Amino acid sequence: MKEIMVKIRGSQVSKEAGEDSMEFVTEAKLYEKGEAMYLIYEESELSGIPGCKTRLKFKGDQVQMKRIGKDGSMGHEIRFEKGKRYSGFYETPFGAIEMEVLTNKLDNSLSFDVAGQVDIDYFISLNGLLEGRNKLNITLM
């Protein structure tokens, strides 16, 4: 396991709110297990979910994102794979909301020994209440 810095850029486009974006740099832990690479970092105030821990698992052409709240609650998991649809639940303090994700694009050039980046472009729907297109870029520094 090694300590690294990561830059995370995210943007959301929805009919209701227009476009919103954020960017932050944070410390992270990077390690390999079997054929997968893992990246773990703490979310910040900028991401809107402070105290939350995010774990990304990179294996082949798939990325799995798992978030867990500071007290072990309000977690959710999303899987990204180009052209594939993922259904799950997004936990909130008010209960779980049905979530559906369709990945448009996933480019992964991450390497354990060399810095790289991953770009994910996806559509998300939260119980039909909020729908939009998101882009996520994670760069190892």
Task: Look up the CATH number of the domain holding residue 119.
Answer: 2.40.128.20
Residue 126 clears pLDDT 90, i.e. is over it: no
Residue 35 clears pLDDT 80, i.e. is over it: yes
Averaged pLDDT for residues 4-31: 88
Residue 120 tokens, joined: 């994910």
- Split into its structural domains, the chain has a count of 1
Residue 30 clears pLDDT 70, i.e. is over it: yes
**Residue holding tokens 């054929």?**
35
Instruction: pLDDT band for 119, please (50, 70, 90 cuts).
Output: very high
Residue 60 tokens, joined: 């082949």
Instruction: pLDDT band for 121, please (50, 70, 90 cuts).
Output: very high
For residue 27, the enclosing domain spans 2-140
Best-predicted range by mean pLDDT among 12-16, 44-48, 60-64, 129-133?
A: 60-64
Q: What is the pTM of this model?
A: 0.86
pLDDT, greater one: 19 or 30: 30
pLDDT, greater one: 12 or 82: 82
Which among 133, 127, 126 is positioned nearest to 105, based on CA atoms? 133
Give the SS3 label for residue 47: helix
